[in-house]
């Protein structure tokens, strides 16, 4: 069944019974021009050998999904985590081989996500151990209806640590704007209602340490806030 959102759906823990996101969470890597540019010459050298052609995609598994307000655990031996503030596109209709021009009609709404990772340098192998730890993908605090966002390709994503803005990125700078990303992803994998597609993280994503709190905000979509805590000693 289609996912139709009127106004907004609340994803905060007290408002929901099951899971932090309404479906599976997929995301694009290197989808901000500055993030791709930061690879520089390395993109043409081993192990990459050539710049990416198709979208570079990843999966945030269900153990990684977390709600607004959930604590992000900094693993023992890790000084700080990378905060990947991003826009989440929530799919509303079964989307298989969708054309770019039609793609936004398949969107139910928008939310925020924090694509958290243990800092790492290589994009050669899927960085599952760095990016898929429990709680490493807060989503929320709500999904706003598609109609309430005038243009998903003109949103400013702000990432603040302890209330101080550390990164501002505009979705104007996406390598693949939202519609094109949906088209290129659904060319080979069907997205279903509730699935969330993260549009990517800009260069220089800030670090945060245990004891700090991180807020990902987009005007009109909301503010997603989570505190970082140190992993308990076993």
Partner 1 sequence: MRRARVAYAGAIHEAYPDVAGVRLADGRVVGEDKVVWLPPVEAGTIVALGLNYADHAKELSFAKQDEPLVFLKGPGSLIGHNGQTRRPKDATFMHYECELAVVIGATARNVNRAEANAVIAGYTVANDYAIRDYLENYYRPNLRVKNRDTCTVLGPWLVDAGDVEDAANLTLRTYVNGVKTQEGNTRDLVFGIPYLVEYLTSFMTLDRGDVILTGTPEGVVNVDVGDEVVTEIEGIGRLVNTIAGDAVFGL
Write the DSSP symbol of residue 107: E
Question: Is 29 one of the binding residues for partner 1 (CB under 8 A)?
Answer: yes
Contact with partner 1 (CB under 8 A): which of 82, 133, 146, 176? Answer: 133
Q: Out of 13, 33, 38, 59, which residue is the one contacting partner 1 (CB under 8 A)?
A: 59
- The residue among 48 and 148 lying less far from partner 1, judged by its C-beta, is 48
In sequence order, what are the residues at sequence separation of 6 or more whose Cβ sits closer than 8 angstroms to the Cβ of residue 60?
25, 26, 27, 113, 115, 131, 132, 136, 137, 198
With binding defined as CB under 8 A, does residue 64 bind partner 1? yes
* Of 117, 129, 140, nearest in space to 66 by CA: 140
CB nearer to partner 1: pick between 24 and 148: 24
Does residue number 150 form part of the binding site for partner 1 (CB under 8 A)? no
Compare residues 185 and 221 and give the one whose CB is closer to partner 1. 185
Site membership for partner 1, residue 33 (CB under 8 A)? no
Q: Could you give the CA distance from residue 66 to residue 231 in angstroms, rounded to a whole number?
A: 16
If binding is defined by CB under 8 A, does position 126 make contact with partner 1?
yes
Nearer to partner 1, 24 or 223 (CB): 24
Give strand ranges (E) for the chain.
8-10, 25-29, 56-60, 65-67, 72-74, 81-82, 85-91, 107-114, 137-145, 156-161, 164-170, 196-198, 207-208, 213-218, 222-230
Using CB under 8 A as the binding rule, whether residue 164 contacts partner 1 is answered as: no
- Candidates 3, 132, 183, 196: give the one binding partner 1 (CB under 8 A): 132
Site string for partner 1, 70-89 (x = CB under 8 A): -----x--------------
* Selected binder of partner 1 within 6, 18, 41, 47 (CB under 8 A): 47
- Spatial separation of the C-alpha atoms in residues 107 and 101, rounded to whole Å: 13
Q: At which residue do the structure tokens 């509730």 appear?
A: 194
Q: Which of 16, 80, 93, 134 binds partner 1 (CB under 8 A)?
A: 134
What are the tokens at 28?
A: 């694009």
**Shortest distance, CB of residue 3 to partner 1, whole angstroms?**
15
Q: Which of 4, 37, 54, 101 binds partner 1 (CB under 8 A)?
A: 54
Q: Tell me: cis bond preceding 155? Omega within 30 of 0 counts.
A: no
- Report the distance separating Cα 226 and Cα 214, nearest Å: 6
DSSP 3-state helix, strand, coil percentages of the chain (rounded to 5)? 20, 35, 45
What's the residue count for the chain? 234
Q: Kindly state whether residue 191 participates in binding partner 1, applying the rule CB under 8 A.
A: yes
- For binding to partner 1 (CB under 8 A), which residues are involved? 24, 26, 29-30, 47-50, 52-54, 56-59, 61-64, 75, 96, 123-129, 132-134, 188-192
């Amino acid at each position: 069944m289609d996912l139709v959102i009127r106004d907004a759906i609340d994803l905060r823990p007290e408002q929901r019974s099951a899971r932090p996101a309404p479906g599976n969470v997929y995301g694009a890597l290197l989808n901000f021009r500055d993030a791709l540019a930061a690879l520089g010459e390395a993109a043409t050298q081993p192990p990459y050998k050539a710049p990416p052609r198709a979208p570079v995609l990843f999966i945030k598994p269900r153990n990684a999904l977390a709600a607004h307000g959930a604590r992000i655990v900094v693993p023992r031996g890790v000084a700080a985590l990378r905060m990947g503030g991003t826009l989440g596109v929530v799919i509303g209709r079964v989307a298989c081989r969708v054309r770019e021009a039609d793609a936004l009609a398949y969107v139910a709404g928008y939310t925020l996500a924090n694509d958290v990772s243990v800092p790492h340098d290589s994009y050669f192998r899927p960085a599952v151990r760095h990016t898929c730890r429990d709680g490493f993908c807060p989503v929320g605090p709500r999904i706003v209806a598609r109609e309430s966002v005038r243009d998903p390709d003109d949103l400013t994503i702000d990432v603040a640590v302890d209330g101080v803005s550390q990164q501002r990125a505009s979705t104007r700078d996406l390598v693949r704007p939202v519609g094109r990303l949906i088209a290129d992803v659904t060319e080979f994998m069907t997205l279903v209602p509730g699935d969330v597609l993260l549009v990517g993280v800009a260069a220089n994503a800030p670090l945060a340490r245990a004891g700090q709190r991180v807020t990902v905000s987009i005007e009109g979509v909301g503010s997603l806030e989570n505190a970082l805590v140190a992993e308990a000693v076993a």
